[in-house]
Structure 1
């Protein structure tokens, strides 16, 4: 388990590089809500956007998850707990006014970075519109 990366995976780094190239700045592996002991892969605090890039195995991708052959009870339960925690995290962040974006590691990095940029721009425009009222 020590060898499993919790941050700075190849898909994360690629998406971060593309988002950064579009001029956006963000926090890496940060807590969107300080009281919640969970970190997002990318956090845009003023826009309240949290981005998660989920691994297919650890988060139970419907396309690519394959149950393990050894110790399947333990690992399958772990993945189910991860999925439940993901849903709980999404719910808590949305209740606090955050936009949660989740991508699978197999998704196109270009498409993910475009979706992130678009969402952040929209949230910033909304916030700017509210400030001028």
Structure 2
């Protein structure tokens, strides 16, 4: 009888441990939805007038591509970063679209999240960085892909 009780206690303990692992201890109830993936291959010509902000460090422009568009930021003459415009806080919200605040930051006017020009959260409810895409510079042509 004692062996049966010990075995039953072990099974109950194992079941509770398994439930904690699979349920995430209750912390998963506040998981944010993921930004959908969109396949694209965009070319941006740095000499075009609409990209003149990219002639200066921390200059940023909007460009098509991604889910809700792209923001391209010049780090220096040879380094450009491209981000998804969809805010990471609540990406399924129709107004979750990051905007450029010149020489200050990137921000989502909907949830009030703020991001650095490196895509890192700086304020507001967003805790995840902006989705970053691959960039490749060849002369005055910047290619952006995911």
Shared fold (TM-score, shorter chain, > 0.5): no
Structure with the greater alpha carbon radius of gyration: 2
Task: Report the TM-score when normalising by structure 2.
Answer: 0.20
Structure with greater helix percent = 1
More strand by share: 2
Q: Which has the higher contact order (CA 8 A, sep 6+)?
A: 1
TM-score, structure 1 length as denominator? Answer: 0.21
